[in-house]
């Protein structure tokens, strides 16, 4: 009975927090949110099939898609991923990259604590001015960072839930903004071999953020020759709240320990058009996996897509076990993914994780 009340509490909290996402897909609100980097998945494994694994994501990387999957960490997990965003220097003059590092640790029999830091850099960008628009005035280097701390709990063998607290910062040399957000998610697993999975997660719910700093000030000279400072006020911007719903099913084959997973998800965006994702993952001997996915957004096929993060994606993983003991989950995993980003160049990500 105690577990039932806990499960009910999680569902109620998600339902209440999900109210802001009820107005999703409204084109009139497109582009009015801030901190859009919170919608960019930094992990190589899940991006290989478009982040469709809302229902079946497992381990440290689940803190992005659905934090409930963090509850499946067996002991300790470390992970790092480097992402070359939109072609890097060949696609953007600034060379946008993302570096992500995380750690997860089982702290209770049914509870796991996790944290990861995502840092996005854009390289050196030429400074241009209103009266001097040509390069040669020096450079500046914007940076985005978000720090995530999460806790996931297994209420029963079939129901798992979790919550993530995140700190968001965006800065240049003289202007910065910071904000705070919350993610929450649940996963339900059923079937004779746990082959059917359902998941729901709410992301980026929190108060508005705004920019501040000396870069918003301007030195002026009055008609009397006196110097004075004019300060521009930054408008507040909301976090890009979204609601994810996912379903997956595993087709299991005894020969060579094969698995074929079919997954689908729906993302309801409060400040962008909604996304629909389908994905496939094939596993052989629990050591080799290949996957692909497709993210559809209204307007994608007519050239009127609202974001570049859609279309086809593909990836592969190699799991190398570190122990021959039966039931041991220790090992090293190497992941790679590629995402199309029309009209920009594609995004490459490569990562590694260590479990022991």
Residues 215-245: tens digit of each pLDDT: 787 777 777 667 777 777 888 889 999 999 9
pLDDT at residue 16 in the model: 47
Residues 57 and 162 sit within 8 Å (Cβ to Cβ): no
Give the CATH number for residue 63: 2.40.160.40
Residues 66 and 103 sit within 8 Å (Cβ to Cβ): no
What's the alpha-carbon Rg for the chain, to the nearest Å?
A: 22
What's the structural domain count of the chain?
Answer: 1
Alpha helices by DSSP H, the chain? 2-17, 44-47, 62-65
Give the mean pLDDT per block of 10 residues along the chain (356 residues): 46 48 56 86 96 96 96 96 78 70 96 96 79 77 93 95 95 90 95 94 93 80 73 85 95 95 94 92 96 90 78 96 82 96 86 95
Cα torsion for 298, 265, 295, 49, to the nearest 10°? 180
The residue segments making up the domain with residue 296 are 2-355
- 241-265 in b/e burial notation, b at 16+ Cβ within 10 A? bbbbbbbbebeeeeeeeebebebbb
Residues 77 and 353 sit within 8 Å (Cβ to Cβ): yes
């Amino acid at each position: 009975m105690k577990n039932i009340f806990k499960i009910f509490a999680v569902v109620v909290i998600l339902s209440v927090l999900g109210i802001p996402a009820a107005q999703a897909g409204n084109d009139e609100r497109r582009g009015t949110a801030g901190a859009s980097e919170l919608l960019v998945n930094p992990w190589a494994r899940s991006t290989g099939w478009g982040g469709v694994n809302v229902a079946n994501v497992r381990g440290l990387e689940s803190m992005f898609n659905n934090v409930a999957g963090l509850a499946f960490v067996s002991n300790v997990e470390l992970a790092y991923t480097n992402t070359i965003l939109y072609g890097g220097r060949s696609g953007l003059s600034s060379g946008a990259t993302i570096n992500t590092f995380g750690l997860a640790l089982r702290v209770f029999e049914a509870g796991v604590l996790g944290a990861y830091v995502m840092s996005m850099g854009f390289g050196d960008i030429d400074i241009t001015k209103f009266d001097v628009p040509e390069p040669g005035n020096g450079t500046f280097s914007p940076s985005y960072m978000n720090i995530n701390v999460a806790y996931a709990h297994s209420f029963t063998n079939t129901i798992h839930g979790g919550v993530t607290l995140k700190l968001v910062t965006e800065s240049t040399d003289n202007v910065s903004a910071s904000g705070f957000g919350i993610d929450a998610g649940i996963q339900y697993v059923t079937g004779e071999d746990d082959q059917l999975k359902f998941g729901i997660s709410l992301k980026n719910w929190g108060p508005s953020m705004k920019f501040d700093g000396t870069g918003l000030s301007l030195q002026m000279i009055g008609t009397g020759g006196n110097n004075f400072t004019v300060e521009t006020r930054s408008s507040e911007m909301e976090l890009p709240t979204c609601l994810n719903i996912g379903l997956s099913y595993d087709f299991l084959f005894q020969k060579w320990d094969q698995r074929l997973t079919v997954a689908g998800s729906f993302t309801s965006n409060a400040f962008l058009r909604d996304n629909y994702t389908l994905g496939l993952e094939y596993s052989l001997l629990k050591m080799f996996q290949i996957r692909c996915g497709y993210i559809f957004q209204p307007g994608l096929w007519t050239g009127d897509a609202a974001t570049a993060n859609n279309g086809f994606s593909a990836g592969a993983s190699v799991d190398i076990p570190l122990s021959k003991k039966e039931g041991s989950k220790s090992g090293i995993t190497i992941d790679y993914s590629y995402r199309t980003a029309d009209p920009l160049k594609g995004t490459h990500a490569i990562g590694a994780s260590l479990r022991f």
